[in-house]
Structure 1
């Protein structure tokens, strides 16, 4: 058997055999393209896999996984590569890169789309909007659909149509022992339940089938910004808005940065219905707060709504995020948010984003554990100068600690640490069932680079 050092150098017979067997590309350190292929979205993550397998089809995935398991090497799986915690890569292991698997097919009559795991939100939206259809995805369109969906999938359509995982009809995945299986409500339903919010714990998904909904081409959306001193008024007006909002409206409130980097308070929204009704609902927010610095609320193409904040989250920038789900946006929570926002400084882009949950989310089923939460707070530290890392991470952790008395756990896709500390809060009362399923589908914890569910004994 090829030694670890042979695998790293790429001169072992087994590596050559993998190259010959795969339709895709195999890269090892020192080869042209390796350094670019190993990079991920979060600039704080700088790891060097022993081997990168750039897969083109299911057979490639099975061969790459078999190689990793056969050599007892860690396995990382990458779709879009946007894992905040850096789970999209590894050191001294095998990175199974799905980024070349990017086909989207749409059955407009049935309102169903099938997408491969390397597809981004933007690619999916372009394909479905050709038919006036969409499903819930994230709010940054460069994000891959795979990890987003498996962790839940918070996005602009969630209150009307549920989370991304709630819109799954079926998935095909490669299990830890190399089998290709289908999971749906009728076939392997327990596995299907686990995949709807359980993250990458149960296998490598090679195909997602989604339910689609009539959306667009125009929605009422965008955002409005106010001077930072209005942040309390913005949060109070947002609370009033969300307590009476119909399911068609998904809205966020934020202490964030304007395009010039200056701290502001903001509300962003998407109304998945008549744009005139969206304006009627959101105009009182502006009236309650005062004159905005920037008012970009209005009718806009759905694809623009999906991509309007992309530029704020470029590849290679540094990120450390935390999150907490809330039962209510109480005065005490608002006090914490206003206080923690007062610590903002330039140039790092520190953000507190309050996401309104509820609506159709509560009706869904699956491993996503916080379906009855009213809000989620994203605590986002983003910076470009490595010298800012310690204070940015400290700010995010201190903010999470200040919100902890009000929190019921965090969102799998936002939690940054890989030490397992967030797993109980993320999965809540689903954890025992997930551990039992993990023991069934991945008893040796091959898929451990995630917010890891360990197999039940």
Structure 2
């Protein structure tokens, strides 16, 4: 039996003979195209169970798509024969029986925000990008712009409904909660950062913050700031010296290391520093502060002063789009915006995120300390290369810490609970003929930044591994990872053996797998 009684219209099956087929076999990254026999557009948990059972009975390779934002080929792989498309399951509602807010896995960040906040003044503190859906976002840990105030999304996850396949090959839906006496609690835990597509197909999540009581949906989850103080500034690349570039990045890192504590009063601020390739013309900084904090203006002013320390170039308006950010010249002087208005503006107005033709490469790291000189030298070298002329190349530094770091690394499957900030390499292009050129740039830059640790950010006193929601297949390739640290340690650290046990218990036939899925234990 499914948990939600609302009647959905029946889903349908799309095959190669249907005109919409081509639009359903690729996602955000156009480097990856699938050729499945069918795409199952499901509308209910029962339909998911039926689709999975059919795939198991017929021996078909299956993958699951919430909104198509996977950075690698985990969904749109040439070996996949059936894609289960969850986009039709997008309900967001208050489940009175469970005393929690339910969100189906096809609901996007924007739909979730625009339902919960106007109705009840609360949020599930998910990410910036409006079109990311909850299915894969939450299962990978789910960073969002409220993280320093309210932690990761999974810190508020109460329960999950998953379609699994048992040892007899029978598909069924199960619900696992965080209750200490729940015999399925290990399956809940695996979905608090264990990655998407590993254990089954998530059909819905229930959210209720720890300690929340009662039945009022307005008291079950965090309340975002009523207003945000928004600042966006840029520095002209042509005016920055090599030393000033390094100082800018070093200032960002040092501030975040100093203010990563869970109770630090500066956790009201979150910021992105986008280190673009020089051809973009600018390096950009976005800062958001809880405008209801009594010292919001002072926090922002002190932060901008710290970031600009030692830089002889005055910052100006942010006039170029960069990475995940649109051009924001109207915020050269800080402005206050209502919370939902700010989220919609930042999440939906970037042309890069709304271009369905782009090919891309991504890489990530968590940072626990400031930059060694070797990191900054490598970043400067590759961001100023003259053989590359692409303004859509960037390395983005994003705030972490705050309430994220109040949680024990083993309490959820998301283990990076001591990081100060994270980094995201992003390269976008259109022409398949340029694949080798831009893949080589990303690989060369990343490998040289982490040259002292085998080309990857091995967990140590400076770096702390990688973010599973920014998957990178190169982490498992000995040509690019020459360290002794495997890809699964970079993502999951000490939590991986437990994830393997969950895998063996709940997916004993390895039905749900992809190029970097959790592997069953050996033997």
For normalisation by structure 2, the TM-score amounts to: 0.77
Structure 1 residue 217, shift from structure 2 partner: 3.6
Structure 1 stretches of 5 or more lacking a match?
Answer: 1-21
Q: How does 1:378-457 map to 2 (within 5 A)?
A: 378-404=424-450, 405=453, 407-417=463-473, 420-421=476-477, 422-449=487-514, 451-456=516-521, 457=523
Q: How does 1:327-342 map to 2 (within 5 A)?
A: 327-332=368-373, 333-342=375-384
Matched, 1:220 2:229: yes
Cα distance in 2 for residues equivalent to 1:302 and 1:385: 38
**154-163 vs 325-334, greater mean Cα deviation:** 325-334
Cα distance in 1 for residues equivalent to 2:428 and 2:494: 32
Structure 1 residue 83, shift from structure 2 partner: 0.1
- Cα–Cα, structure 1 residues 216 and 432, in superposed 2: closer, same or farther, change >3 Å? same
Equivalent of residue 114 in structure 2, options 98, 102, 126: 126
- 1:182 aligned partner: 175
Q: How does 1:271-282 map to 2 (within 5 A)?
A: 271-274=289-292, 277-282=295-300
Cα distance in 1 for residues equivalent to 2:430 and 2:231: 26
**88-97 vs 191-200, greater mean Cα deviation:** 88-97
Structure 1 residue 336, shift from structure 2 partner: 3.2
CA contact under 8 A between 2:230 and 2:286: conserved in structure 1? yes
Instruction: After superposition, give the CA deviation of every residue in 1:366-411 in whole Å (9 maximum; x if it has no partner).
Output: 1112221222111111112323221211111122212323543211
CA contact under 8 A between 1:133 and 1:216: conserved in structure 2? no
Cα distance in 2 for residues equivalent to 1:262 and 1:357: 26
- Cα–Cα, structure 1 residues 198 and 141, in superposed 2: closer, same or farther, change >3 Å? same
Q: How does 1:130-145 map to 2 (within 5 A)?
A: 130=118, 131-145=120-134
- Cα–Cα, structure 1 residues 222 and 63, in superposed 2: closer, same or farther, change >3 Å? farther
CA contact under 8 A between 1:418 and 1:450: conserved in structure 2? no
Matched, 1:88 2:75: yes
- Cα–Cα, structure 1 residues 339 and 320, in superposed 2: closer, same or farther, change >3 Å? same
- Cα–Cα, structure 1 residues 420 and 77, in superposed 2: closer, same or farther, change >3 Å? farther
SS in 2 for 1:214: coil
Matched, 1:356 2:399: yes
Q: How does 1:320-331 map to 2 (within 5 A)?
A: 320-331=361-372
Cα distance in 2 for residues equivalent to 1:429 and 1:47: 33
- 1:239 aligned partner: 253
- 1:298 aligned partner: 335
Cα distance in 2 for residues equivalent to 1:293 and 1:388: 32
Matched, 1:268 2:282: no
Cα distance in 2 for residues equivalent to 1:209 and 1:317: 34
Cα distance in 1 for residues equivalent to 2:142 and 2:108: 13
Structure 1 residue 348, shift from structure 2 partner: 4.9
SS in 1 for 2:34: coil
**299-308 vs 58-67, greater mean Cα deviation:** 299-308
Instruction: After superposition, give the CA deviation of every residue in 1:409-444 in whole Å (9 maximum; x if it has no partner).
Output: 211111232885533311111111111111111112
CA contact under 8 A between 1:257 and 1:351: conserved in structure 2? yes
SS in 1 for 2:19: coil
Structure 1 residue 112, shift from structure 2 partner: 4.4
Structure 1 residue 111, shift from structure 2 partner: 9.2
Structure 2 stretches of 5 or more lacking a match?
Answer: 1-8, 209-220, 260-265, 319-328, 458-462, 478-486
Instruction: After superposition, give the CA deviation of every residue in 1:116-153 in whole Å (9 maximum; x if it has no partner).
Output: 11111111111122032222211211111221111111
Q: How does 1:191-230 map to 2 (within 5 A)?
A: 191-200=187-196, 201-211=198-208, 212-228=221-237, 229=240
Cα distance in 1 for residues equivalent to 2:95 and 2:225: 17
Instruction: After superposition, give the CA deviation of every residue in 1:85-114 in whole Å (9 maximum; x if it has no partner).
Output: 032333341100001111111479x99421
CA contact under 8 A between 1:171 and 1:184: conserved in structure 2? yes
SS in 2 for 1:234: helix
Equivalent of residue 32 in structure 1, options 19, 23, 40: 19
- Cα–Cα, structure 1 residues 61 and 85, in superposed 2: closer, same or farther, change >3 Å? same
**300-309 vs 171-180, greater mean Cα deviation:** 300-309
Equivalent of residue 283 in structure 1, options 290, 298, 301: 301
SS in 1 for 2:88: coil
CA contact under 8 A between 1:322 and 1:415: conserved in structure 2? yes
CA contact under 8 A between 2:276 and 2:391: conserved in structure 1? no
Cα distance in 2 for residues equivalent to 1:266 and 1:205: 37
Structure 1 residue 331, shift from structure 2 partner: 3.9
- Cα–Cα, structure 1 residues 176 and 272, in superposed 2: closer, same or farther, change >3 Å? farther
Q: How does 1:78-117 map to 2 (within 5 A)?
A: 78-91=65-78, 92-106=80-94, 112-117=100-105
SS in 1 for 2:27: coil
Instruction: After superposition, give the CA deviation of every residue in 1:61-89 in whole Å (9 maximum; x if it has no partner).
Output: 00110111111111110001100003233
Cα distance in 2 for residues equivalent to 1:210 and 1:105: 11
CA contact under 8 A between 1:102 and 1:116: conserved in structure 2? yes
- Cα–Cα, structure 1 residues 305 and 384, in superposed 2: closer, same or farther, change >3 Å? farther
